[in-house]
Amino acid sequence: MNPTPINHAKRYKTIFSLLLLIALIIWSGYQTEFSFQSLAIGAPEMMNLIKEMLPPDWSYFSEIIEPMLDTIRMAVLGTTFGSLLALPVALLSASNVFKSRWINMPVRFVLNIIRTIPDLLLASIFVAVFGIGALPGIFALTVLSFGIVAKLFYEALENIDNGPLEAMTAVGANKYKWITFGVLPQALAPYLSFVLFTFEINIRAAAVLGLVGAGGIGLFYDKTLGYFEYPKVTTIILFTLLIVMIIDYTSTKVRERLL
């Protein structure tokens, strides 16, 4: 059986896409001055660094328990505040909830601006305003959580079943009842899932924010790296890994039940 023109077109399209991808990779490597020679030269130094980091300094573990708890507290508060603030903004962004581009587009534009700002930059700004400590980290994680949850939630809102909403409109329900009894019950499970997902992200982010003075375990990363105390750095990394794995596992199980 001879290939059809459609099959030929698909094949050419696939080949063209592959060639375009290869060209993009080569161009990116050239522009960033990537070279396998530099990689080969640096590899032995990386192995020397790993040797200096082992074995971990287990005696340091007792000193980082409280900073790690501070990191978790920062993530909890930042996620909570950001997720609550994201709820009304997501409703305003959803085109099937507020059917006006004069409302949706400006809110989405502001949301995109907020999501563009890196969390480390946010933390640096808040540290400059409030000083070194956990408070700037909480504010930075609040803004980060707000951007993530609002974006994911308004996309979920636009995919809900419109049948109940149309029925409520037909019987004359006002906007408040329409949202409370028609929109939110359908979107509650995805919303909680997004909150848990954001909490996982914030645990990792909070561990780094301390590098710019925003509290938590990151302050100890900065301190030990600055003094070249690599065995202590390894202890912090392993402790952080353990916390992240526990939270990831727990969060995954909870989200599976919700969805």
pLDDT tens digit sequence for 4-14: 666 666 777 78
Residue 13 lies in a domain: no
Residue 142 lies in a domain: yes
Residue 236 lies in a domain: yes
Q: Which residue segment(s) compose the domain that 155 sits in?
A: 60-258
* Residue 86 belongs to domain with CATH number: 1.10.3720.10
Residue 1 lies in a domain: no
Residue 43 lies in a domain: no
Per-residue pLDDT of 124-155, as tens digits, reads 888 888 888 888 889 999 999 999 999 888 88
Tokens at 56, concatenated: 């971990």
Query: Which DSSP letter does residue 98 get?
Result: S
pLDDT of 91 higher than 90: no
pLDDT of 175 higher than 70: no
Residue 25 lies in a domain: no
In angstroms, rounded to a whole number, what is the distance separating the alpha carbons of residues 162 and 160? 6
Question: CA-CA distances (angstroms) from residue 40 to 25, 189, 202, 225?
Answer: 20, 49, 35, 24
Torsion of the alpha carbons at 52, 56, 62 and 63, rounded to the nearest 10 = 20
Residue 19 lies in a domain: no
Residue 53 lies in a domain: no
Give the position of tokens 């400059």: 128
In angstroms, rounded to a whole number, what is the distance separating the alpha carbons of residues 162 and 148? 24
Give Dmax (Cα) for the chain.
Answer: 74
In angstroms, rounded to a whole number, what is the distance separating the alpha carbons of residues 198 and 242? 18
pLDDT of 231 higher than 70: yes
Residues in the chain: 259
pLDDT value of position 58: 87
Number of domains in the chain: 1
In angstroms, rounded to a whole number, what is the distance separating the alpha carbons of residues 254 and 211? 31
Nearest by Cα to 159 from 203, 94, 226: 94
> Per the omega criterion (within 30 degrees of 0), is the bond before 55 cis?
yes
